[in-house]
Amino acid sequence: MSLTTLDLAVLAVYFAATLAIGFWISRRASRSLRNYFLGGNSVPWYALGLSNASGMFDISGTMVMVAWLFVYGLKSVWIPWLWPVFNQVFMMVYLSIWLRRSRVMTGAEWIRFRFGEGAGSHLSHLIVVLYAMLIVISFLAYGFVGIGKFAATMLPWQLSTDPVTNDNLYGLIITAITTIYVVKGGMLSVVFTEVLQFIVMTVACVWVGIIAMQAVSPELLATKVPAGWDSIFFGARLDLDWSGILDAANDKITKDGWEFFSAFFMLLLVKGWLQSMAGPRPDYDMQRVLSARTPREAALMSWFVNVVLLIPRYILITGLTVLALAFFTDELASGTDDANFERILPLALRDFVQPGLLGLVIAGLMAAFMSTYAATVNAAPAYIVNDIYKRYINPHASERNYVRMSYATSIAVVILGTAIGFAATSLNNIVEWITAALFGGYTASNVLKWYWWRFNSYGYFGGMITGLVAVAIVPELLPNLAVIYSFPIILVISLAGCVIVSLLTPPDDVEVLKRFYLQVRPWGLWRPIHDLVAAENPGAEANTAFGHDMLNVLVGIVWQTALTTTGIYLVLQDYRRLAWSIGVVALTSVWLKYRWYDKLENYPSGYASAEEPASESQARPGMNEQL
């Protein structure tokens, strides 16, 4: 592909600015582990929200979502529930507040806060570190594959005559640049660079959307897609027939195993609801919540992610899809493998973005990769250094020593993730492995830890171990079963491990449970612990907001889905449906203003403000001050 001198200059300036920010901030970040991993809990919620949105705006996910929209049409709006995308609604409604109240640094440290310091807690702590590393390395491999495919198509230099090797070499170069600024600057570097990257990405998204709207009319698009492509509604089956238009799309639907779309949708809903109730996984999303200045700001950050992310991202996704449908159907018909569909994004940019502007768009999409990769890399050393090295190996080292260990750990996990990326061929396969199998082994233990007092540290360890074992053996025992449909089997096996082991072992230390309950105040099966806490703290009230929170979650999912369709209908120039989407966004926003925003509080009743760190108390006038 040919890039002009101006395009190359834009890319050079972007990479130079990104690296400069990392080195500029590195001096402050290296003062302590809390500065390095959490930015010293000093970053405002809106900056964290932009950073988190930037981290979720990954190029690999965007390439997959373009392929989904191309093949499945508007029904692809539901497919990201695989992740599940609506976990951010659960986070904003209540889970970000609960998590931030713990005041810990990592998910593994949270385990000690919840279960104490006994043998079971140590086992649970170690299994969370292991799981966090599996998540981080899987996402690094996923990012490596995506950026390699994108860069090899978009950049003008041929690094190898072998296409796979060429992809991998580009992936190596860009991941190396990203790793440099993350390792030097930690969380502060990640946040500041991601704010810059999000601005660049948003400009690129709008630009691509405008190009698509000018190049493709609704009438032209209607001749390129099968009946029902433009509807989000569905029956028992998908009922999209690409025969005579693009037979390879029918092959992909068959290969994915999602033809019975109603069953697939219900599985997504149940799976997504359970995984969302489990709280954030031990990755960059959790680190952003723990980095917030207060619990209230953690919730606002999760809300802001939805506001700033969905519309521009889907403007880009829809713009690229529309251009590909109108002009690249024949080129995509040259094969039936997933890689052809995953290359829709670079193919559309290649021919439709004018010289000069192309450099900015490529920089924006490079930023999408770098922000996600950076956030993932930053999460890894927090677990290895804070939860293993500092706790078990060298507890009395200097802060500078811990930060240096973080540098080494970041580089090591990048190398491992890159090595796995070399062996991967399809983004879709990695997505299914992460979202269905790996998350399935995590769900049961991490739901019960919030909502059931009798669930103990041994039960957590037992559930995680059985879940991870099931992740390894179920796909092997049922090789013809689509990965997504293995989730219920893995979940049931893990849940059995949780409950059986918990009931066969004694409860955790009651003092640990009382402290957790007093500080976090979850709803659920906590009555015995509440009675003990209330006897000692008469002002401590039980959390009776279960129904209120679940209703807000339902409204929030509708709100989030309408934000998604707003970006799509805008680019499709379907103004009638666009008006409906905007109306739903407006109505649900009013509901959330009065039923969620106005009722946010930092800490629950009866929690002693004397225990609050000075950095938090300075961030607001009162402990239970409402917005």
- Residue 280: is the preceding peptide bond cis (ω within 30°)? no
Residue 36 pLDDT > 70: no
Secondary structure of residue 525 in the 3-state scheme = strand
User: Could you say which DSSP state residue 385 is in?
Assistant: I
Q: What angle do CA 316, 321, 324 make, to 5 degrees?
A: 130
* Count of Cβ atoms closer than 10 Å to residue 355 Cβ: 12
Residue 483 pLDDT > 90: no
Residue 130 pLDDT > 70: yes
**pLDDT on residue 191:** 66
* In the chain, where the domains are located: 5-424, 544-595
Mean pLDDT of 483-492: 83
Residue 417 pLDDT > 50: yes
**CATH architecture for the domain at 5-424:** Up-down Bundle (1.20)
Mean pLDDT of 146-164: 75
Secondary structure of residue 417 in the 3-state scheme = helix
Residue 620 pLDDT > 70: no
Better-scored residue on pLDDT, 24 or 298: 298
CB 170 within 8 A of CB 354: no
Q: How much of the chain exceeds pLDDT 90, in percent?
A: 37
Q: What is the pLDDT of residues 202-250, one digit of tens each?
A: 888 898 899 999 999 999 999 999 999 999 999 999 989 998 888 888 8
**pLDDT on residue 429:** 55
Q: What is the pLDDT of residues 531-545, one digit of tens each?
A: 999 999 988 999 999
How high is the mean pLDDT of the chain?
A: 81
**pLDDT on residue 614:** 40
* Count of Cβ atoms closer than 10 Å to residue 524 Cβ: 15
**pLDDT on residue 621:** 36
Q: How confident is the model at residue 597 (pLDDT cuts 50, 70, 90)?
A: very high
**pLDDT on residue 616:** 47
Residue 286 pLDDT > 70: yes
CB 359 within 8 A of CB 11: yes
Better-scored residue on pLDDT, 15 or 72: 72
With 0-12 / 13-18 / 19 or more C-beta atoms within 10 angstroms meaning exposed / middle / buried, residue 350 is middle
Q: Which residues contact 42 (CB under 8 A, 6 or more apart)?
A: 293, 615
**pLDDT on residue 193:** 67
Classify each residue of 534-549 as buried b or exposed e, where b means 16 or more C-beta atoms within 10 Å of its C-beta: eeeeeebebbebeebb
Mean pLDDT of 554-577: 97
Mean pLDDT of 386-405: 78
Of the candidates 467, 483, 564, the residue with the CA atom closest to the CA atom of residue 85: 564
CB 484 within 8 A of CB 270: no
Phi, psi values for residue 452, rounded to 5°: -135, 115
Q: At 623, list the tokens.
A: 């402990």
Mean pLDDT of 403-423: 74
Q: How much of the chain exceeds pLDDT 70, in percent?
A: 78
